[in-house]
Amino acid sequence: MSDKLLLTPPLFVAEGTDRKCFRHPDDENRCVKVLHPDTEAGRFWREICYYSRLQRRAVDFRHLTPYRGLTETNLGKAAIFDLVLDDDGRISRSLAYYLAENDRRFNDWVVDEIEHLKQNFYDQWIVFHDLNPTNILVKRLGFDEFRLVVIDGIGHNHFIPLASYSAAFARKKLVRVWNRRYRQWYSTFPVVVRGLKPYPAS
Ligand SMILES: Nc1ncnc2c1ncn2[C@@H]1O[C@H](COP(=O)(O)OP(=O)(O)O)[C@@H](O)[C@H]1O
Ligand SMILES: [Mg+2]
């Protein structure tokens, strides 16, 4: 008998540029991410390595999904993460989905929340490379209570991982990435772009 996890179409959650995400067949609170066959494997290892480091450093994971280890599946090697669920047990929807609804109250709330997230990552020197609104889920905690959870785009691709060891270096890196790219990440949502700010010059 094979001990590979069997990932079948009913377990499929969503697909990004590099990976497919499935529900874990044996654990309703976890998801399993498999790399597309033609994606460079380095990205996969760098991410796992970065998450493991964050977990050793015991950073606050309120806005992140903990990494739960590697597994073999019928679709290849995969990484296990916590599945982001709403209070009714459904899989949380992306920030892109909510922004597309263009609700004024939500937009106002979310600009503050993204600013808060950005400060949280700065304080804990968590490096990111892509905080576009498909990499952030909006977890509903209760009536009118939501939290942003980043499920992708964390870490860096430096061969010499200084940003993993040095808070000063990591902050420099994330400030540069945010200030250069946030307008592009949210370009479909001008209301949000207008509300967001660059990190102040240090
Ligand atoms: N932890 C999670 N909980 C719920 N849905 C998730 C989770 N991780 C990923 N997804 C869904 O799967 C999609 C693809 O995953 P993602 O990690 O962004 O892959 P990619 O690296 O290909 O962009 C996401 O846009 C999201 O819809
Ligand atoms: Mg993604």
| Residuewise pLDDT in 10s, the chain (202 residues) | 568 999 999 999 999 988 999 999 999 999 999 988 777 788 888 999 999 999 999 999 999 999 999 999 999 999 999 999 999 999 999 999 999 999 999 999 999 999 999 999 999 999 999 999 999 999 999 998 999 999 999 998 776 678 888 999 999 999 999 999 999 999 999 999 999 999 998 7
Q: Which ligand is nearest to the CA of 93?
A: 1
Lay out the sheet containing 145-150: strands in order across. 93-94, 136-142, 145-150
Question: What is the pLDDT, as a whole number, of residue 37?
Answer: 78
Q: What residue owns the CA closest to ligand 1's atom 10?
A: 21
- Which of 82, 117, 139 marks a domain boundary? 82
Q: What pTM does this model have?
A: 0.95
Residues 175 and 136 in one domain: yes
Quote the ligand 1 centre to 14 CA distance (angstroms).
Answer: 6
Interacting residues of 164 by C-beta distance below 8 A, sequence separation 6+: 49, 50, 53, 127, 156, 170
Asked if 106 and 37 touch (Cβ cutoff 8 Å), the reply is no
Residues 184 and 100 in one domain: yes
Measured in Å, residue 18 CA sits from the centre of ligand 1 at: 10
Assigned domain for 4 exists:
no
Contacts of 4 (CB under 8 A, 6+ apart): 72, 73, 74
Residue 90 in contact with ligand 1 by CB distance below 6 A: no
As given in the structure block, the two tokens for residue 145 are: 């209570």
Query: How many domains are there within the chain?
Result: 2
Question: Strands across the sheet with 67-73, in order?
Answer: 12-15, 19-24, 27-35, 76-82, 67-73
- The reply to whether 76 and 101 lie within a common domain is no
For residue 16, what are the contacts with CB-CB under 8 A and spacing of at least 6?
A: 134, 135, 152
Closest ligand relative to 16 C-alpha: 1
Tokens of 47: 């991410």
